């Protein structure tokens, strides 16, 4: 593991980018890592692209923001070019398969990347609401050092009140997480 | 009696604004007066959610002028009162804060700097240094802590109430949007369990006994008829401030003893500066850093010593030279050139500072 893993996530407001960033950072903290999460919170947030910055490491994190990141997750069409400044040649770009064309246009065919049909999987196999949790699952498998239990506990802290009202939701989130993880695993083996 | 907000140690991962809510509770703050403004909003939200559980109070006022004056009213009545603001709200609050400075009132103010001038951005900057240190029509008899981590937000907020009530200077926690909004690990604790001595609040007005006969009269004035009257009061405050300065001034250094380039930074930027020094040292470049924790009063002597031992000085800040202006008088007469890395309203990364530092060292012939 890198001593300080830097991750940017971007999507439309309401896609749950901030939720999965916070859950990821919180799970890392619970697993004994150092972590820092900061959302972008300009006024453009309403009706604009929502960015989340996460850093995970062994040493206390220095500055909250950074120049380029190790992983960039892109969840929506407008986010593709919005994250341009954070993408270095060695960054791993994770994006929804529906964004294939935009990604190739902005980053060219040579960019290190992983595409995941998360939107399609969510719609066809689960529920559109858990699209972001599939992405979280993929991230987990790519990061590959965070115990699943810590992530489930963080999910519980964030969504426990909703799970209590409708226990099916918990199952749905767990399945989304697993689906994402499996997908990430498969991608890694290739 | 209401339960204590914290017992034992609580390890947590939370946003800075939530840390501040716990810190003010743990410090024994009785009441918060405030008016919403980003990026301090959630502090108010957390306080309103938590305060009643511990018998504390909250009042949302009609604006920041009123929040500042209400805080003054709170401390006059003997309550540990505080407020929090940012940007244009900090501007408005300077009138009551000047009054607090004049009357030596122990108000505690938390500032979450956002971009400026004017409405600027709701995000982040270090552009409220001038305003927080020297705002208002006064002399800057204030104590200003510039924090750089959640642990410091917590511990300096505890300390701020003690310092305010002990020395009776308005006391500030100068944070920023990043510190307010970011999440990082923190250990929360009850200060008295840790052996901290918490300075109690006491009423400043309406004391028992007949003034002039059974006790000294209290003259808390912000209006004077004679030049001489005002002069006497301001000079007394100046003397108290100068005498307290040595006790109050705090700073941190890292590898400053043998450095060629001294990086000076405060607040959240100091994190990047410290990381930059580590990067530069790994490259074999002799960098060090000086971070003032108190911007008012400044650790002038120690800063001068650290600067005097270096060949070059680099000031890095998310403002256009506010920190540089603050420190320059301490460097008067030194020959070391001072370079500024000014990024008003922009976050600064360790790599940027390291690159700038290497450039300066190389062009001055002290590089590799």
Query: What is d(CA A14, CA A169) in angstroms, rounded to the nearest whole number?
Result: 18
What integer is the mean pLDDT of B295-319? 97
Q: How many of the other CB atoms lie within 10 Å of CB of B231?
A: 11
Among candidates B183, B274, B352 on the partner chain, residue whose Cβ is nearest the Cβ of A22: B183
Domain boundaries, chain A: 4-189
pLDDT at A190: 42
* E strands in B4-147: 9-15, 31-34, 57-60, 81-85, 108-113, 143-146
Query: What is d(CA B344, CA B363) in angstroms, rounded to the nearest whole number?
Result: 25
- Alpha helix positions (H), chain A: 17-30, 79-82, 100-107, 118-125, 131-143, 148-165, 167-189
Q: Do B183 and A25 touch (CB under 8 A)?
A: yes
Query: What is d(CA B12, CA B188) in angstroms, rounded to the nearest whole number?
Result: 7
Among candidates A35, A39, A67 on the partner chain, residue whose Cβ is nearest the Cβ of B181: A39
pLDDT at A189: 45
Q: Do A35 and B181 touch (CB under 8 A)?
A: no
Cβ-Cβ pairs closer than 8 A, A with B, add up to 65
pLDDT digits (tens, 9 = 90+) for A11-32: 998 899 999 999 999 999 999 9
pLDDT at A186: 66
pLDDT digits (tens, 9 = 90+) for B105-128: 999 999 999 999 999 999 999 999
Chain A residues contacting B via beta carbons under 8 Å: 22, 25-26, 29-30, 34-43, 60-67
* Location of each CATH 3.40.50.920 domain in chain B: 252-363
Which residues in chain A have Cβ-Cβ distances shorter than 8 Å to B177? 41
> How does residue A183 score in pLDDT terms, banded at 50, 70 and 90?
confident
Distance from CA of A17 to the nearest CA of B (A): 15
* Location of each CATH 3.40.50.970 domain in chain B: 9-189
Which residues in chain B have Cβ-Cβ distances shorter than 8 Å to A38? 178, 181-183
Topology given in CATH for the domain delimited by A4-189:
Pyruvate-ferredoxin Oxidoreductase; domain 3 (3.40.920)
Which residues in chain A have Cβ-Cβ distances shorter than 8 Å to B123? 40-42
Out of A23-27, A172-176, A185-189, B287-291, which region has the weakest mean confidence (pLDDT)? Answer: A185-189
Q: Do B272 and A43 touch (CB under 8 A)?
A: no
Which residues in chain B have Cβ-Cβ distances shorter than 8 Å to A37? 182-184
Q: Are strands B183-189 and B9-15 parallel, antiparallel or unpaired?
A: antiparallel
pLDDT at A42 exceeding the cut of 70 = no
pLDDT at B100 exceeding the cut of 50 = yes
CA atoms within 13 A on the CB side of A139: 31
**What whole-number percentage of chain B has pLDDT above 90?**
97
What integer is the mean pLDDT of B304-309? 97
The backbone torsions φ and ψ at residue B238, rounded to the nearest 5 degrees and listed phi first, read -60, -45
Distance from CA of B128 to the nearest CA of A (A): 18
pLDDT at A54: 98
Query: What is d(CA B38, CA B34) in angstroms, rounded to the nearest whole number?
Result: 12
ipTM above 0.85, yes or no: yes
pLDDT at A48: 79
Q: What is B9-189's CATH number, 2.30.110.10, 2.60.120.380, 3.65.10.10, 3.40.50.970?
A: 3.40.50.970
Q: What angle do CA B168, B174, B176 make, to 5 degrees?
A: 160
pLDDT digits (tens, 9 = 90+) for B143-161: 999 999 999 999 999 999 9
pLDDT digits (tens, 9 = 90+) for B228-255: 999 999 999 999 999 999 999 999 999 9
Q: What is the CATH number of domain B252-363?
A: 3.40.50.920
Mutate to test the interface with B, among A23, A58, A61, A64 (most CBs of B within 10 A): A64
What integer is the mean pLDDT of B322-341? 97
């Amino acid at each position: 593991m890198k001593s300080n893993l830097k991750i940017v996530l971007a999507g439309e407001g309401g896609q749950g980018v901030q939720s999965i960033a916070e859950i990821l950072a919180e799970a890392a903290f619970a697993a004994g890592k150092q972590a820092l999460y900061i959302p972008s919170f300009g006024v453009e947030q309403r009706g604009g692209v929502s960015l989340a910055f996460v850093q995970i490491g062994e040493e206390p994190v220095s500055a909250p923001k950074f120049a380029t990141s190790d992983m960039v997750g892109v969840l929506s069409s407008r986010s593709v070019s919005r994250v341009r400044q954070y993408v270095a040649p060695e960054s791993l770009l994770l994006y929804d398969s529906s964004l294939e064309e935009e990604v190739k246009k902005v980053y060219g065919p040579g960019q290190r990347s992983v595409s995941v049909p998360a939107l399609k999987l969510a719609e066809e196999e689960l529920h559109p609401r858990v699209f972001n949790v599939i992405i979280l699952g993929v991230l987990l498998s790519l990061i590959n050092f965070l115990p699943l239990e810590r992530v489930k506990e963080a999910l519980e802290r964030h969504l426990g009140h909703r799970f209590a009202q409708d226990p099916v939701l918990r199952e749905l989130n767990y399945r989304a997480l697993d689906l994402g993880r499996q997908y990430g695993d498969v991608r890694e083996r290739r | 009696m209401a339960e204590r907000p914290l017992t034992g140690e609580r390890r947590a991962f939370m946003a800075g604004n939530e840390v501040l809510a716990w810190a003010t509770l743990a410090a024994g703050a009785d009441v918060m007066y405030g008016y919403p403004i980003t990026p301090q909003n959630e502090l108010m939200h957390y306080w309103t959610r938590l305060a009643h559980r511990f018998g504390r109070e909250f009042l949302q006022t009609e604006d920041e002028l009123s929040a500042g004056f209400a805080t003054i009213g709170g401390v006059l009545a003997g309550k540990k009162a505080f407020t929090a603001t940012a940007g244009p709200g900090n501007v408005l609050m300077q009138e009551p804060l000047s009054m607090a400075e004049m009357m030596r009132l122990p108000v505690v103010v938390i500032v979450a700097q956002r971009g400026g001038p004017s409405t600027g951005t709701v995000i982040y900057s270090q552009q409220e240094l001038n305003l927080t240190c020297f705002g208002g029509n006064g002399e800057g008899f204030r104590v200003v802590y510039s924090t750089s981590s959640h642990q410091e937000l917590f511990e300096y907020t505890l300390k701020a109430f003690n310092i305010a009530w002990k020395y009776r200077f308005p006391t500030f926690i100068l944070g920023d949007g990043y510190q307010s909004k970011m999440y990082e690990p923190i250990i929360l604790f009850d200060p008295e369990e840790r052996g901290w001595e918490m300075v109690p609040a006491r009423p400043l007005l309406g004391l028992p006994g007949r003034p002039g006969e059974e006790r000294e009269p209290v003259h808390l004035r912000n209006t004077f008829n004679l030049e001489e009257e005002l002069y006497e009061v301001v000079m007394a405050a100046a003397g108290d401030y100068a005498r307290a300065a040595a006790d109050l001034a705090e700073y941190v250094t890292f590898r400053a003893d043998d450095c060629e380039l001294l990086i000076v930074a405060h607040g959240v930027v100091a994190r990047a500066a410290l990381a930059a020094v580590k990067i530069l040292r790994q490259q074999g470049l002799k960098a060090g850093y000086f971070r003032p924790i108190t911007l008012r009063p400044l650790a002038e002597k120690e800063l001068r010593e650290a600067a005097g031992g270096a060949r070059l000085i680099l000031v890095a800040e998310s403002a256009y030279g506010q920190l540089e202006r603050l420190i320059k008088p301490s460097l008067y007469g030194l020959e070391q050139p001072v370079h500024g890395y000014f990024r008003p309203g922009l976050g600064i990364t360790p790599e940027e500072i390291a690159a700038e530092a290497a450039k300066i060292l190389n062009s001055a012939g002290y590089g590799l």
